[in-house]
Structures are given as C-alpha cells and as structure tokens.
Amino acid sequence: MRGQDDRRRARPAAHELARYEALFAARTRGMKSSAMREMMALTERPDVISLAGGLPDTSTFPAELYAKLMAQVAAESTARALQYGPTEGMSATVECIVEAMAQEQTFVDPSEVIVTTGGQQVIDLVCKALIDPGDVIVAEAPTYPGAVPTFTAYQADVMQIEIDADGMPIDALEETLDRLQEQGRRPKFIYTIPNFQNPGGVTMSLARRRRLVEVARERELLVLEDNPYGLLRYEGEPLPTLYSLDAQAAARGGAADLVIYLGTFSKILSPGLRLGWAVAPRPVLEKLNLGKQGADLCSSSVTQTFVAAYFAERDAHGQPAWLQYVERLRDLYRERRDTMLEALQEHLGERASWTNPAGGLFVWATLDGDVDTTDLLARSQGVAFVPGRAAYVDGRSGSSSMRLNFAGLPEQDIREGVRRIARAIGPDTSLLGALTGQARAGTADSGAAGGKQDVQAVLDAELADVIELPRREQQTPRRRQDR
Ligand SMILES: Cc1ncc(COP(=O)(O)O)c(C=O)c1O
C-alpha cells in the first residue's frame, strides 16, 4: 500500500523528462501540474486534517445496506454486472437518473441521457466534442478546479467572469460576449455551476438564471450546467435548473435546445461508484457518445447495476431509501457547515471574509492583506485546503482565497482544521498590537523583527497545547529498486 502511495507521489526529474520531451503532444505543454495533485498526496496522510478534496462523507452510508445490495447484484445479476454495457448506459440506471432529476423538477427524456464515468467525464467529453485549440469557453471566476486542467488540456481560451453573491452577473457575461463578437469569436459554451458553486459556495439567482437562458437563446450559445449539488440544499427554496428553463422556452416536447446538463451520483450517493451523466440535445449527445466510445467504451456495469438496485430499495412506508439518505446528508452537512462558519468567525473573524453557502460542500474564504494561499498551504502544518489559484485558469488570480470543504469531516476536525489554518497565517497582529502597544506586524513571516519575536512568543504560549505535526516530507529522488 505504502509502495503505491510513494509511486504516485514520485515526479520525474528534469533529466528523465528530457528523454521523452520530443514525443509529447503540443497540448501537454498547457497541462497544468495542479495544486490538486500535490494536495491529494497531502490529504492521504493520517496526521493531516483535509478541508481540501470535494469529498462527501461516505462513512455515513449504511454498511449493511451496501453489503446487502452488493450481494444482491452478485447473486441476481452476475452475468450482466460483469459484462460490458451500452455506451449510453444501462436503461435501469437511466431510469434512476430520470427519477433523481425529477426531484429537482427537471423532467427529461431517457433517450437524451448518457451515463458517464463521473460528472468529470462529461466535462471532458463536452470539450472533446466542441473544443479546437484556441476556442473560447466562458466560465465563472472562480470555477471548479477540476475543470481547469480539462479546459487547458484541450487548449481552450477560457474567459472567466467574476461571480458575486448571486452567481455569475449576466450583464458582465453579455459585455464579454459583445467583446468576443466584435473580434468575430463565438464561445463554444458557457460553463456554470448554478447551485452552491464549487468553489464559491454561491447560488445563481432566479432572475439571472432566466436571463442566462434568454441570452443563450438570443445568441445561440450552448450552456454546460454543472449541477452535482442541487439536491444538497440546507435552507431556502430550490430554484429551477437552467435545463428546465430552457426546456420551457424550447417547447420541444420538454427537452432543452441549448443546455447540456451534467449530473452525478458522487455527492448524493458515492464518488467511488464513478457514475455521472449528461442530458443533451440529440446531435450533441451523439458526439458525446462517440467520444465516450473512444475513452472507455462504457461506464462500469457493476456500479450501474448497484445504483439500479439501490434506487429500487424502499423503507416500510414505501419511501425510496436513496431520498432518505439524501435527507440525512442534508441534516449532517448543514450542521457541519454551521460549525465551519462558527470556526471561521472564531479564528479568522477579523482577518478574512467568506461565503455563506445555502447548500453544497464548500466555503470560499478570502484572507485580508497579501497572504498567498498557495504558500500558506506549503507552510501549513497538519491541514490541507484548495488554494484559490487552482480555480483560475491563469493560475495567478484568487491567490488570497481558499476553498474549504465542510462536508467530509466530523465537527471537531473542522474546528481544528480552521484553527491550524489560522495558526499558519500567523497571529492576528492587530489584536496583539492593541495588547502590547505595538504596530501591526503583518503575518508571522513578514513582521518587523522586534515585533515578530514578541508576537511569536505570544503565539507560542497560545498554541502550547497544540500537538506539533511533522512537516511535509521533501520529495527526494529515489533509486530504481525503491520503485
Ligand atoms: C462542480 C463539479 N463538477 C463535476 C465534479 C465531478 O464529480 P464526479 O466526477 O465525481 O461526478 C465535481 C466534483 O467535485 C464538481 O464539484
């Protein structure tokens, strides 16, 4: 096990790379070495509290139910579950997708659904179908960090529109579209996460949803609506999906013209299943299907059969087990969100601002001053988060922000994780200044020497009860026989 981890972390040395350099495709030059990769290695260490990944809490899934369903799949569907399936997905799984989407008042035609290997594959297949090098994608700023490497791998020219508390401002979008039009450029698609945005935590208002669909229709532009979190709403009224708004306007038997919908079982059931889906107008669907044939032929029949068995499960009152589980997740994550907001107030109250998500998994926090969260991650001990830059295609913007996941950890770890971040930033010197009569000394790394020592002494005393964690290991080249 340990050997495997080490292998994943090993990066090739420059002299090793040189040998293969001429063979690599041009697009690999744009591929980013992501902060995510570094972070995933970090999050595997047991001494690290990870507020980083997009992880739901899979430990909450009842083990007995998992065992029962897997046994049922094994006993009743052996040959089918162990066989290849259709590229577009098994019809029993598609029925589950139709049922899940109906919970969001979005009614889709099963023939316009394709089952994919996670929602991530939808992003990849949409790019594969639509993007030539230099083509424009319009996305939110910040955007889903996992989409950034996909967009750059396809050599897209990504324009990011800064979001506010109501999601993407559509007037800013229209300005960008006008500018592009003057240059004779038509974006291939607009990428948005309208519900509890990853990483921003904000939700697009109804007025903006309506306007976005109008703009897409006026200008004949495709929209990729990425909606993994729609059912994880902790308060307030659900808002209609862009897909359903477009379908109303399209009057095409209830199907949308211009919205490609991305869904996933990852957050309402399990990311380990690796099952997501797209709903798309038939000509687009056809291309996604061809792209998927080249990528992986079909998604796992084992996990598709599992999902079908799970969705058939009812309690004594005939209520679907999957919906009850989602309700339990909502209760749990609501509490954890509140814990994180309290912890942020307690430890970073004077030094940062953050979003207050009504659902989903993430808070987006922005630090005052010029703290770079990528550097902060490197010097943080025992805690991981996603540095803001990972959510910007230029890799530079968002440097004082960070994405914090509140869903995957128990409350004491959330509190301790936030406390460790505050410790890594350094003391709140404005408070210390008031206590000691000294001027604000900046972060622990940047204060004036005299003030810094005093500040450090106070900090050391304050943190005397915190167990020191080992520093992150240095990456050292290993000899061939170690691999
Ligand atoms: C906005 C968004 N899109 C897509 C995905 C991909 O998820 P998966 O491939 O597990 O379905 C995620 C996962 O975190 C996400 O947050």
CA distance 12 to 115: 35
Write the burial class of residue 399 (CB in 10 Å: 0-12 exposed, 13-18 middle, 19+ buried).
buried
pLDDT in the model for residue 35: 54
CB 157 within 8 A of CB 189: no
Q: Where are the alpha helices (DSSP H) in 255-410?
A: 282-296, 301-312, 321-348, 373-379
> Which position has the higher pLDDT, 43 or 245?
245
CB 239 within 8 A of CB 274: no
Question: Residues enclosing ligand 1, CB less than 6 A?
Answer: 54, 118-120, 144, 146, 193, 198, 226, 228, 264, 266, 271, 276
In ligand 1, the atom with minimum distance to the C-alpha of 265 is 11
Average pLDDT for residues 287-300, to the nearest whole number? Answer: 98
CB 239 within 8 A of CB 206: yes
In ligand 1, the atom with minimum distance to the C-alpha of 264 is 11
pLDDT in the model for residue 456: 36
Q: Which residues contact 343 (CB under 8 A, 6 or more apart)?
A: 414, 415, 417, 418, 419
Q: How far is the CA of 36 from the centre of ligand 1 (A)?
A: 13
Sorting pLDDT into bands at 50, 70 and 90, what band is 7?
A: low
CA distance 372 to 344: 18
Sorting pLDDT into bands at 50, 70 and 90, what band is 471?
A: very low
Q: Specify the residue with its C-alpha closest to ligand 1, atom 14.
A: 54
Least confident stretch, 137-146, 278-287, 436-445, 464-473: 464-473
- What DSSP character marks residue 395? S
pLDDT in the model for residue 9: 56
Please give the biggest Cα pair distance in the chain.
76
Q: Which residues contact 20 (CB under 8 A, 6 or more apart)?
A: none
Q: How far is the CA of 186 from the centre of ligand 1 (A)?
A: 26
Between 91-102 and 301-312, two packed helices, what is the crossing angle to 10 degrees?
A: 50
Helix (H) or strand (E) holding 223: strand 223-226
Q: How far is the CA of 454 from the centre of ligand 1 (A)?
A: 45
356-385: per-residue pLDDT in tens? Answer: 999 999 999 999 988 999 999 988 889 999
% the chain with pLDDT above 70: 83
Best probe residue, ligand 1, of 193, 198, 229, 362 (max atoms within 8 Å of C-beta) = 198
CB 97 within 8 A of CB 146: no
Best probe residue, ligand 1, of 226, 270, 296 (max atoms within 8 Å of C-beta) = 226
pLDDT in the model for residue 10: 65
The model's pTM is: 0.86
pLDDT in the model for residue 480: 40
Q: Which residues pair with 137 in a beta bridge?
A: 158, 189
> Which position has the higher pLDDT, 448 or 405?
405
Strand order in the sheet with 352-354: 352-354, 362-367, 401-405, 386-387
CA distance 189 to 126: 9
In ligand 1, the atom with minimum distance to the C-alpha of 271 is 10
Sorting pLDDT into bands at 50, 70 and 90, what band is 476?
A: very low
Write the burial class of residue 412 (CB in 10 Å: 0-12 exposed, 13-18 middle, 19+ buried).
exposed
Q: How far is the CA of 30 from the centre of ligand 1 (A)?
A: 22
Q: How far is the CA of 196 from the centre of ligand 1 (A)?
A: 12
Average pLDDT for residues 155-163, to the nearest whole number? Answer: 97
Q: Where are the alpha helices (DSSP H) in 55-185?
A: 63-76, 78-81, 91-102, 118-130, 147-153, 170-182
pLDDT in the model for residue 163: 97
For residue 2, the Cα-to-chain-centroid distance in whole angstroms is 27
- Identify the residue whose tokens are 């939700």: 203
% the chain with pLDDT above 90: 72
In ligand 1, the atom with minimum distance to the C-alpha of 197 is 1
CA distance 351 to 425: 10
Least confident stretch, 156-165, 189-198, 419-428: 419-428
Sorting pLDDT into bands at 50, 70 and 90, what band is 466?
A: very low
Q: Which residues contact 357 (CB under 8 A, 6 or more apart)?
A: 196, 201, 202, 203, 234, 337, 363
